[in-house]
Amino acid sequence: MPKLLPILHEPHPILRRRSDALVLSSWDKKELQALAADMVLTMKKAPGVGLAAPQIGKSIRLIVVERTPEPLVLINPKIVGHSLRKQTLEEGCLSVPGKYGLIKRWREVKVRAQTLDGQSFEIKAQGFLAQIFQHEIDHLHGTLYIDKATKLLQ
């Protein structure tokens, strides 16, 4: 059964670290699947729409993103393309409780990543999903939305 993981809060130093690439061959597949399932449960219960591994204390390039019908698990996700246009959006973060802010994000992004089985894939997203990808991938670089927000509100 998946279990809830504690979510780290700013200013925890792990949140500021650049995450390492996740080398699938050095992981036990069951262990990695269990970690991803724990992250999905933790995201849903929070409740949140995305969660990056540094937020649960692991400095590895792994994110989960809420999406219907199934949440997405992305290993080593990278933005490989984006629209020229940006949109200003409201944003919050499970690691920065009690705050939200306004931030400019690309309207559309193309993300390349691997599945838990090691298959490469690309996914295009726009609007809210594009925002979540950018937010979670920022976490892998040690960046929080509060670093980029044009306005912070409580």
* Residue whose beta carbon is closest to Zn ion: 93
Vertex 62: Cα angle to 33 and 72 (nearest 5): 70
For tokens 């200003």, the residue is 88
Which residue, 93 or 125, has its beta carbon nearer to Zn ion? 93
**90 tagged catalytic:** no
Give the rounded distance of the alpha carbon of 112 from its chain centre.
14
Side-chain-facing half-sphere of 39: CA atoms under 13 Å: 30
Closest to Zn ion by CB, 36 or 93: 93
CB atoms near residue 102 (< 10 Å): 14
Least spacing, CB of residue 26 vs Zn ion, in Å: 26
Distance CA 59, CA 63 (A): 11
Nearer to Zn ion, 4 or 23 (CB): 4
Q: Give whichever of 22 and 63 is closer to Zn ion, judged by the CB atom.
A: 63
Q: Which of 66, 70, 122, 136 is catalytic?
A: 136
| Chain CA centroid to CA 48, Å | 11
CB of 37 to Zn ion, least distance (A): 19
Contacting positions for Zn ion (CB under 5 A): 93
Please report how close the Cβ of residue 48 comes to Zn ion at its closest, in angstroms. 8
Shortest separation between residue 91's beta carbon and Zn ion, angstroms? 8
Sequence-ordered alpha helix ranges (H) in the chain: 29-45, 127-140, 145-148
Active site residues: 136
